[in-house]
């Protein structure tokens, strides 16, 4: 009986001490897992999104020769997918009959501005064009999208990134 009274007293002291050192429970929203991209984007607010439709650009040459009609078309959708990450969905159809690769880039300003790309063209994934003239990209790249201003996407043929290498351009509009 004496032992029971001592152990009850010790338990009472331990309970009081435990209450004094434990902060009150506060309910908080669960933190998103680091691999849960949708939750990370939602926690950051509305992601920056841009989209546009590719229009053909008449090829410019320095010669007085007839040019063929360019029938390149397509679409592009960009969305911020996290810190310094951008999701790209790009579809392009060209009159090119042989499998080839095309470069593309995001450029400040409107189509035809002649501005330099946001980052080096080599940082944008190559568009692989199949024998039917169609190419697609659906991936993420390391890039932070601008949140304001004007922006366009150029598709280049050949080795250059000058205006005479542009075969299609899409003026992008900010969504949301």
Q: Average pLDDT, stretch 74-90?
A: 95
Q: Average pLDDT, stretch 125-133?
A: 95
- Could you please report the per-residue DSSP string of the chain? -HHHHHHHHHHHHHHHHHHHHSPPP---PPPPPTT-HHHHHHHH-SPPEEEEEEEE-PPP-SSSS--PPP--EEEEEEEEEETTEEEEEEEEE-S--S-EEEEEEEEESSTT--PPPSS-GGGSPPEEE-TTSEEEEEEEEE-PPPSSS-EEEEEE-SS--SGGGEEEEEEEEEE-
In tens, the pLDDT along 95-112 reads 988 889 999 999 999 999
In tens, the pLDDT along 22-66 reads 444 444 444 444 444 444 444 455 689 999 999 998 765 555 545
Looking at per-residue pLDDT, the higher value among 8 and 138 belongs to 138
**Domain 46-61+69-175 fold:** Immunoglobulin-like (2.60.40)
Q: Domain limits of the chain?
A: 46-61+69-175
């Amino acid at each position: 009986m004496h032992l029971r009274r001592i152990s009850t007293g010790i338990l009472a002291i331990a309970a009081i001490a435990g209450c004094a050192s434990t902060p009150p429970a506060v309910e908080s929203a669960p933190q998103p897992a680091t691999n849960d991209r949708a939750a990370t984007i939602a926690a950051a607010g509305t992601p920056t999104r841009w989209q546009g439709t590719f229009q053909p650009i008449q090829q410019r040459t320095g010669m007085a020769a007839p040019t063929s009609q360019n029938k390149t078309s397509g679409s592009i959708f960009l969305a911020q997918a996290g810190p310094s990450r951008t999701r790209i969905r790009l579809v392009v159809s060209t009159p090119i009959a042989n499998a080839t690769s095309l470069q593309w880039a995001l450029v400040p300003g409107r189509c035809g501005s002649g501005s330099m790309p946001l980052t080096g063209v080599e940082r944008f994934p190559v568009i692989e064009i199949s024998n039917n003239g169609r190419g697609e990209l659906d991936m993420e790249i390391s890039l932070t999208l601008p949140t304001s201003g004007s922006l366009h996407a150029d598709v280049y043929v050949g080795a250059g990134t000058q205006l005479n290498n542009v075969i299609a351009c899409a003026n992008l509009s900010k969504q949301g």
